[in-house]
Amino acid sequence: MICKNCGFDNKKGAKFCTKCGSSLDYEEVVVTQSKGDNSKYLIIALIAIIVILAGVIGYFALSGGDSAQDSDASQSVASQSDESVSGSDDSDSDAKTKSVSSSKSSTSKASESKSWESIGSYSGSGSGSQTIEVPEGKIMVKLSAYPIKNYATNHLYVSGSNGESGGVDWGSKSAVETRSDSFTYTSSSSEVFTIDYYETVSWEVEFYRYQ
């Protein structure tokens, strides 16, 4: 028991200080010491709680960082995958477009490369006939004539060895005017055509081949 008056350490349970005789307040001293011990325990508990909280926060911080890295990595892989698929689709689309464009271009060129081209033109007047040879292929024949007035038998006829023919003529009551005709045929060999004309002011026969 410590004396408040002189500070002497007396024996436990003493009522008065053996040095100065002052009364010793046992209960107050005990309470004070008890409060001091409780403060020590409280400080220790607070330190322990702080250490535990720091550990928990550190753990979640590290765990969150790893999750963020995993998420970034996943997003990066997904982005690369999308870009790869997009690039593949664009490549396929470009290839299809080029293929269609090439096909259209080839068709257009094939169509443009063929046309009706003249392979012979014959003309004259009066009456008569002549024979000509026409090569094989897809052939178109155009003819026209203008008659002499006041004749009923004016005509221009074109006939081939393959049976193809065309022509114009006038009757006694027909108007005196130019008349025209045309026909088309296809042959794998050359054909001989005869041009027969009678009482004409002028006539003309043209042969075309599709090539």
d(CA 180, CA 120): 17
Domain ranges of the chain: 1-113, 116-210
Residue 42: the pLDDT is 82
Residue 1: the pLDDT is 77
d(CA 180, CA 167): 8
pTM of the model: 0.49
Residue 108: the pLDDT is 54
Residue 83: the pLDDT is 55
Q: Is residue 60 within a helix (H) or strand (E), and if so which, with residue range?
A: helix 26-113
pLDDT means over runs of 10, the chain (211 residues):
86 85 64 56 85 84 60 54 53 55 55 89 98 97 93 93 97 92 98 97 98 95
d(CA 208, CA 211): 9
Q: Give yes or no for a contact between 197 and 122, defined as CB atoms under 8 angstroms apart.
A: no
Amino acid at 98: K
CA distances from 60 to 48, 54, 71, 72, 74 (A): 19, 10, 16, 18, 21
Q: Is residue 94 within a helix (H) or strand (E), and if so which, with residue range?
A: helix 26-113
Q: CATH: 2.60.470, 2.60.120, 3.20.20, 1.20.120. Which one for 116-210? A: 2.60.120
DSSP track, 100-150: HHHHHHHHHHHHHH--EEEEEEEEEEEEEEEEEEE-SEEEEEEEEEEEPTT
Residue 59: the pLDDT is 81
Residue 29: the pLDDT is 41
User: Measured in Å, how far apart are the chain's first and last C-alpha atoms?
Assistant: 135
Residue 31: the pLDDT is 40
